[in-house]
Amino acid sequence: MTTNNTHLSDIKTGDEAIITKVLGHGAFRKRITEMGFVKGKKVTVIKNAPLQDPVEYEIMGYNVSLRRSEAELVEVVSIEDAASLSEIKFEGTIDEETLKVSALEKGKVINVALVGNPNCGKTTLFNYASGSHERVGNYSGVTVDAKEATMKKNGYTFRIVDLPGTYSITEYSPEELYVRRHITKKMPDIVVNVIDSSNLVRNMFLTTQLIDMNIKVVIALNMYDELEKKGVKFDYNGLGEMLGIPIIPTVASKGKGIDELFTKLIEVYEDLDPSVRHIHINYGPQIEKAIKDIQDVIWKNPAITDKLSSRYVAIKLLETDKSTLAELENFNNYEQIKSTAKQTIAELEKEYGERSETIITDAKYGFIDGALKETYKESKKGKRESKRELDDILTHRFLGFPIFLFFMWLMFQATFTLGSYPMGWINSGVGLLSEWVQHTMPHGALRDLVVDGIIGGVGGVIVFLPNIIILFFFISLMEDTGYMARASFIMDKLMHKIGLHGKSFIPLVMGFGCNVPAIMATRTLDNKKDRILTMIITPFMSCSARLPVYVLLISAIFPANQGLVLFSIYLIGITLAVLTALVMKRIAFAKKEVPFVMELPPYRIPTMKNTSLHMWHKGQQYLKKMGNVILLASILIWALGYFPRHTTYSTNYDTQIERVQSSRKLNGSQKQDLVKHLEIYKESERQEKSYIGQLGHAIEPAIKPLGFDWKMGVSIITGLAAKEIVVSSMGILYQTDMKADENSSSLKEEIKAQTHNTGKLKGQKVFTPLVSFCFMLFVLIYFPCIAVIAAVKKESSWHWAVFTMVYTTAIAWLLAFATYQIGSLFV
């Protein structure tokens, strides 16, 4: 039997179910409801045809046959589930009326999709409406996100999906395709079209496309207070009557109109609003004839019209929409539809002297202008000079750059200055937890795993959480106020030179703090090409995790030119990013140029609630998506360094330690120092003979041409998880205090004193200025870190994640090789 709401096509032969909802479209929906397939009716599966399709059902005392594709459009609930909703006070019978009532209760679930332009306040409305966030889950497309929440009102359960902001549902961007597919495949009961009141003409273009789809729509006229402040006279009820769509004014940031909106959704769902009707936009005689010609062919295949409006499909074909054409490929009369559309487009373009998609777009805007001319009257005093003056300052020819740089400095200064306090607290907390576990658990592999692998791994992720939250707080603030678009506007010309959008500048600058949030921030870019290209070059932005390596080597090897060497490393990273972008622009994205279009939304005062929600959501994402990857990588590296446990040492360190401890010639502090050094020598040899040490020796032939020894190789391998691990690995391998950090003078002295023990270079310094510089270059460029790769995979695909691993490591090796080999000729 079925459990919860499922499809009629899933019910087994002989089973019964109660209908809760009929999906589908047009003639199919009308036909099937007339046959008795309505909410609350019991249906029984009689039998399947010999080839399992169609299926015979019994409903209302007679038998009817449905294809499985049609049965998929009927939602049902099992008799058991319907019965469980009823309050049964004694062990008796369950009558048909009880089941019908239960099914009606089950049918009081309204699936709502929020659709609207970017910056229309759609997500603010979602956050306010979902209230207590009873169940909030995130699910992703390839490069876009949608949020889902459940809320209850007046006995109805609303499943609300906040779809990505999009200007239309053509095939221009991944967001547009994602929104379109959600509407056509998921078939929400009602689409709420959120419209920005301050820009009705642009926002209503999407509305005209929803009208073409012949679906239930309610318009949320958001930011209505801004329209009222302008003194505009707007007969939105009149416009709603004209469109056949109810229009509800809302101010989502203040919660105004939200209750009225959801009350209206219930009315529309239950078909109680007489103003709701389906209209056809009259595009003019020539276009209407073209639409009708294509519709005539589409109507020949009910499998298409059962799920989609024939008019919508015809208009999409006239717009030369490749995705729509691809969806029709499996239907019998595909070739006829394709040839008819091609012929009709040719006739239309000959008549107008324009491309067909432009003709349709012009007709839509003509309809919008006409509809607003009758219902919308602009106030003479509606212009907002103060905001225009603010824009004149923030995007000024000379002042724009300094102001922008100040905001960038303020954001990062606050991120790392304010973040340092909670970072310190978290660090201390992780340290205390680690100490407590060490003292509580018995000595052994499990304790080492928990302390070094699990607590160390998770702690390494959690410690960055304050920075992430503060950084995204500022980003959210910049987005909500409208300044983010101005920053992109200021930087666009420079970024466009290397094939990127101005918006790419923000993630790249963020990369100097941490590459993970920088990769996550690429989702603010509008098209796939910009997102991927920005992701590919972001790892060249030297993150703060690499800084300990630079500080250690520069202070030890380049004491006279510390600032210059550090600046050169950062500059090389930026140069590589620019060169890579230029190369990728010519190779991988040569044919993917997109027009330069960027909206500059009006300035608005952000609400603390919305900004805080955005900030916390990003923090949660960081922990969930990156924490588990870092954890697994840390455990793996710990295991490789921990095993095998039975090591054959070159000398008996335990005997030497016992001799030192029993010696009468040494005082207490001398004994302590000697024992400490012997333990470090022992640990260093154990590390060399561990699996990771063996791996270091195995890769030695590959890193030898770069001037690196096996210990540097091990540090590079451990740095795959996180670049901070490079320094701690060097601390152990170069026979220093295992707790040494980049400021440890002993580690600096050991690095300066290191010499080769074997081969042609025996007796020579390991860390010469040339080798040290090559090592810093390699750490700068190679494999970003596991968390960054996971972020790239999440924001794009495994294809680009693997590409990032390979190409960064290849460039790192080639550049270090060239630098070392050429440098060796002169040094």
Cα gap 170→161, rounded to integer Å: 20
Mean pLDDT of 728-735: 67
Least trusted range by pLDDT, from 179-188, 232-241, 468-477, 715-724: 468-477
Split at pLDDT 50, 70, 90, the class of 140 is very low
User: Other CB atoms closer than 10 Å to residue 668's CB: what's the count?
Assistant: 7
Mean pLDDT of 488-495: 73
User: Other CB atoms closer than 10 Å to residue 426's CB: what's the count?
Assistant: 16
The residue among 595 and 523 whose pLDDT is bigger is 523
The residue among 320 and 827 whose pLDDT is bigger is 320
Q: Give me the percent of the chain exceeding a pLDDT of 70.
A: 81
Phi, psi of 224 (to 5 degrees): -65, -25
pLDDT at 673 (0 to 100):
86
Least trusted range by pLDDT, from 243-252, 405-414, 705-714, 775-784: 405-414
User: Other CB atoms closer than 10 Å to residue 144's CB: what's the count?
Assistant: 21
Least trusted range by pLDDT, from 49-58, 398-407, 505-514, 524-533: 49-58
Cα gap 1→84, rounded to integer Å: 14
State pLDDT tens for residues 310-366: 899 999 999 888 888 888 888 888 899 999 999 999 998 888 888 888 888 888 888
Tokens of 194: 């959120």
Task: Using alpha carbons, select from 377, 378, 372 the residue that is nearest to residue 240.
Answer: 372
Tokens of 216: 């239930």
Least trusted range by pLDDT, from 279-288, 442-451, 612-621, 716-725: 612-621
Tokens of 650: 């070159």
Task: Using alpha carbons, select from 617, 763, 784, 765 the residue that is nearest to residue 793.
Answer: 784
Residue bearing tokens 């303020």: 410
Task: Using alpha carbons, select from 774, 779, 805, 420 the residue that is nearest to residue 633.
Answer: 805
Q: Is the pLDDT of residue 718 over 50?
A: yes
Cα gap 157→112, rounded to integer Å: 10
Least trusted range by pLDDT, from 305-314, 616-625, 684-693, 767-776: 616-625
Q: What is the DSSP string of 212-265?
A: HTT--EEEEEESHHHHHHTT-EE-HHHHHHHHT--EEE-BGGGTBTHHHHHHHH
The residue among 138 and 744 whose pLDDT is bigger is 744
Maximum average pLDDT range among 43-57, 384-398, 522-536, 595-609: 522-536
pLDDT at 90 (0 to 100):
38
Mean pLDDT of 2-7: 62
| CA distances (Å), origin 759, targets 345, 460, 707 | 76, 38, 13
Cα gap 519→35, rounded to integer Å: 54
Maximum average pLDDT range among 9-18, 119-128, 251-260: 251-260
With a CB cutoff of 8 Å and minimum separation 6, the contacts of 216 are: 189, 190, 191, 268, 269, 276
Cα gap 312→316, rounded to integer Å: 6
Cα gap 604→165, rounded to integer Å: 18
pLDDT at 630 (0 to 100):
63
Q: Is the pLDDT of residue 221 over 90?
A: yes
pLDDT at 135 (0 to 100):
34
Cα gap 64→47, rounded to integer Å: 11
Cα-Cα end-to-end distance for the chain: 80
State pLDDT tens for residues 547-589: 778 888 888 888 888 878 888 888 899 889 989 988 888 887 7
Cα gap 295→437, rounded to integer Å: 72
Least trusted range by pLDDT, from 367-376, 481-490, 687-696: 481-490
Split at pLDDT 50, 70, 90, the class of 291 is very high
Check: CB of residue 44 under 8 Å from CB of residue 58: yes
pLDDT at 160 (0 to 100):
92
State pLDDT tens for residues 607-616: 777 677 777 7
Residue bearing tokens 């008549």: 351
pLDDT at 537 (0 to 100):
92
The residue among 653 and 619 whose pLDDT is bigger is 653
Split at pLDDT 50, 70, 90, the class of 739 is very low
The residue among 64 and 778 whose pLDDT is bigger is 778
Cα gap 310→291, rounded to integer Å: 9
State pLDDT tens for residues 631-660: 776 678 778 878 888 888 888 888 999 998
Q: What is the pTM of this model?
A: 0.64
The residue among 678 and 468 whose pLDDT is bigger is 678
Least trusted range by pLDDT, from 136-145, 230-239, 498-507, 806-815: 136-145
pLDDT at 77 (0 to 100):
81
pLDDT at 176 (0 to 100):
80
Split at pLDDT 50, 70, 90, the class of 738 is very low
Least trusted range by pLDDT, from 86-90, 405-409, 496-500: 86-90
pLDDT at 590 (0 to 100):
63
Strand partners, 158: 110, 151
Maximum average pLDDT range among 128-137, 265-274, 516-525: 265-274
pLDDT at 740 (0 to 100):
40
Phi, psi of 111 (to 5 degrees): -90, 120
Residue 151: strand, helix, or coil: strand
Least trusted range by pLDDT, from 15-29, 365-379, 435-449, 807-821: 15-29
Per the prediction, the chain carries an average pLDDT of: 79
C-alpha R_g of the chain: 33
Check: CB of residue 5 under 8 Å from CB of residue 20: yes
Q: Is the pLDDT of residue 367 over 60?
A: yes
Mean pLDDT of 143-159: 80
